[in-house]
Amino acid sequence: MEIIMSILSGVLFTTGVYNLLQKQLLRIIIGTALISHGAHLFILTMGKLKRGAPPILEYHVDQYTDPLPQALILTSIVISFGVTSLLLVLAYRAAKENETDNMDLLRGNENE
């Protein structure tokens, strides 16, 4: 199963990077969201999948899934949420101010 999840995270990275290379701001943000999904899945897969019960202590269980990657991913989800929302508002403001969301037109002063 880890192999399939690795492939899936590879697919997420591929589509994320492809979106990142587009010209429109919205696509770029979708790309970053896809890449962070891919990274979260990647971390989870690295910590081995399905080797026991959910990491909540119970009396009759002696094998739990690895809790550490989960804690890391939880932190990462929150941070990427913060960044994505900031990016979105930034894109909204940039598009409003410049009246375009095309990255080719949003270049430095020299290229105007």
Considering the complex, state which of residue 19 and residue 60 has its C-beta at the smaller distance from another protein.
19
Decide whether 60 or 75 has the Cβ nearer to another protein. 75
7 binds another protein (CB under 8 A): yes
Nearest to 27 by CA among 104, 80, 101: 101
- Which of positions 30-89 make contact with another protein (CB under 8 A)? 30, 33-34, 37-38, 40-42, 44-58, 64-68, 70-71, 73-75, 77-79, 81-86, 88-89
Query: What Å distances lie between residue 86 and 13, 20, 68, 78, CA to CA?
Result: 21, 17, 28, 12
Instruction: Put residue 48 in one of left, alpha, beta given phi > 0 → left and psi -120 to 50 → alpha.
Output: left
Structure tokens at 92: 């909204």
CB of 60 to another protein, least distance (A): 13
- How many chain residues touch another protein (CB under 8 A)? 88
By the 8 A CB rule, do 71 and 1 touch? no
Task: Assess 6 for contact with another protein (CB under 8 A).
Answer: yes
Handedness of CA 36, 38, 41, 46 (dihedral sign): negative
Residues 80-99 that bind another protein (CB under 8 A): 81-86, 88-93, 95-96
Give the shortest CB-15-to-another protein separation in angstroms: 4
